[in-house]
Chain A
Amino acid sequence: MRDTAPPWARPLAALAVGAFFFVPLYVGVINTFKSPDQIRTDPIGAPHPFTLRNLSTLLTRPDNLYWASVTNSILVTGLSVMVLTVLSATLGHYLARSPSRWGRGLMLLLLCGLMIPPQVILAPVTYVLRAVGLMGTLPGLVLFNVGYYVPFGVFVFTGFMRSVPRDLEEAAAIDGATRGQIFWRIVFPLLRPATASVLIFLGVWIWNDFIDPLIILGPSQGTTITTGIFRSVGVWRTDYGTIFSLMFMGTIPVLVFYLFLQKHFVKGLTGGATKG
């Protein structure tokens, strides 16, 4: 950007780049409102005629594809995120307040989990789940999510715990409060920004997870939104009406969630990036 460039150059360039980038998003949304024939022949044009038929067909399917998928996704995401918040907040607090060699070793062990791809552990995870009889069930998937994502939660909570003054906890201890009371009544409410980060990131990630529900829930045991979309592509490769409306309806919840919490989302993402 030269100082000599005309003042309209930057907004125009930004708009052009943004519009180009936007094309796939436009294709994703616009095709929801077209007839399946038009999606096939003219995927990029405006709807002609505009139709809600795809959505109404999806919502009233006899096999309940949408409602079953969305229920499973909400249950798995909600339960995983709730358990993860509680466990990673308490574990994060324990680690932040145990600066011994044992605590540091434990922390290091957990941080290693941040970069392990699920593909490396999924096969043995199925043995573990089969051994406890939870293979192919929602609780099994929730348990795996908790184990797999707890390092991220701990990472966020311990980082934030440093800003919570220890004196507060010691004062409460002198007043006779138990450790549980101190944590849940005093510390946890102070951790709200960290809790928000954990809820937002893990909520979006778990909602969008694909390989984990695909393998753990298996082919016969119901679907989440993502595996539902995948199976629709496999079974009815040309049934674009179902595929695009399912993607639209499956993304709306997470998109609304994101729009409301956009500031938090960006703040959580950039917190570590700028300080390094």
Chain B
Amino acid sequence: MVSDVATRPRAPRAAGRTRHRRSRGVWPRVWHFLSFGAPGVLIYVCFVLVPIAVSFGYSLTNYNPFNPPTRFVGLRNYQLMLQDDAFLTSLRITTILTAIVVIVPNVLGLGIAVLLDRRGWLYNALRGVFFTPMVLSSVVISVIWTRMLQDDGPVNQVLRALGVQDPPGWLSDPDIALYSLATVLCWQMLGFCVVIYLAGLSGVPKELMEAAAIDGAGPVRRFWRVTWPMLAPALTVNTVVLLISAFKIFDHVQVMTQGGPGTGSTATIAFLAIQTAFVDNHQGYASAEAVAMLVVIAALTAVSLAVLRRREIDQ
């Protein structure tokens, strides 16, 4: 490589020149990594990659810090999981919740973004209102909504005033609590969708809309034929972000319902994994649950990204 550099200095400024300037040997590159790359990589490895490997390792054991000895049990945790009602229920309710949260804020967010896509102080102020939940802590949002939805809370006060005799127990009825939880997350994520769709709408060229209008396309036709295809990247971002945030929902469950009412009516998979690990101390089994969660989330993200990206290109 040294001779390579030695023969080159006279050469005209070719494509190869910049590429070769840096390769004066291996030590400068090692030093570059040690000084610039290594600190961040090291902490990332210690606190993310190693824990994932450890999780995977422990998922093959019966590890319980208060009940030694720890033995290797192979895939038994995974076999147990597939027959475990608590785990299967958590998977089912997490799926329902994720489906609601992916669809509702996407649809409402698009509608509201179209409504707010104008200039003026009113629309700016309203954008601020819709975006505020994005900077609030999930804990704060959960506490406020708990007060809203309690049996004697404002929601039921209004319903009673409207003449509803026996308003539902939004957080105390095992059949309803999951949907209350989904509503809260939808409310929290709505602002994000609005902002992303507004940004997408601002990228639609005015001339294109005017040309379509001159060609005789009505507002509905203009929206579906011109605007909607140009919102494809916004739809991708919203869907993937909603998918991930809904699937790993934990804070709201912990604050609002503690997994109840009843047995596990709102115990999402993230909540169950934390309970199993830190309350029941079955850390081996909890690791298997965590690994399962990671696999599902990775698969969901990969598939939805692939599908939505292809859709972007097709349009």
Binds B, one of A7-15, A48-56, A59-67, A189-197: A7-15
Give the residues from 200 to 236 in chain B that come closer than 8 angstroms, CB to CB, to chain A.
200, 202-203, 219, 232-234, 236
Contact digits for B279-301, partner A, Cβ 8 Å, 1 yes 0 no: 00001001100110110011001
Interface size class of B (residues with CB under 8 A): 35 or more
Query: Given A3-B219, A150-B40, A225-B137, is A211 in contact with B196 using a C-beta cutoff of 8 Å?
Result: no
CA gap between A204 and B135 in the complex, in Å: 6
Contact of B273 among A44, A94, A119, A226 (CB under 8 A): A119
Beta-carbon contact of A11 and B122 below 8 Å? yes
Q: Is residue B74 contacting chain A, with contact meaning CB distance below 8 A?
A: no
CA gap between A183 and B116 in the complex, in Å: 42
Which residues of A have CB within 8 Å of B135? 204, 208, 254-255, 258, 265
Which residues of B have CB within 8 Å of A272? 237
Interface residues of A, count at CB 8 A: 87
CA gap between A226 and B139 in the complex, in Å: 6
CA gap between A265 and B199 in the complex, in Å: 13
The dominant DSSP class at the A interface is helix
The dominant DSSP class at the B interface is helix
Q: Is residue B7 contacting chain A, with contact meaning CB distance below 8 A?
A: no
CA gap between A115 and B255 in the complex, in Å: 23
Q: Is residue B303 contacting chain A, with contact meaning CB distance below 8 A?
A: no
Nearest CB to that of B274 among chain A residues?
A119
Q: Is residue A222 contacting chain B, with contact meaning CB distance below 8 A?
A: no
Which residues of A have CB within 8 Å of B52? 116, 120-121, 124
Which residues of A have CB within 8 Å of B301? 115
Hey, which bits of chain A sit against chain B, CB under 8 A?
Answer: 1-3, 10-11, 13-15, 17-18, 21-25, 27-28, 31, 39, 43-44, 87-88, 90-91, 93-95, 98, 106, 109-110, 113, 115-117, 119-125, 127-128, 143-144, 146-148, 150-151, 154, 166, 170, 179-180, 183, 204, 207-208, 210-211, 215, 225-226, 229-230, 233, 240, 243, 247, 250-251, 254-255, 258, 262, 265-266, 269-270, 272-276
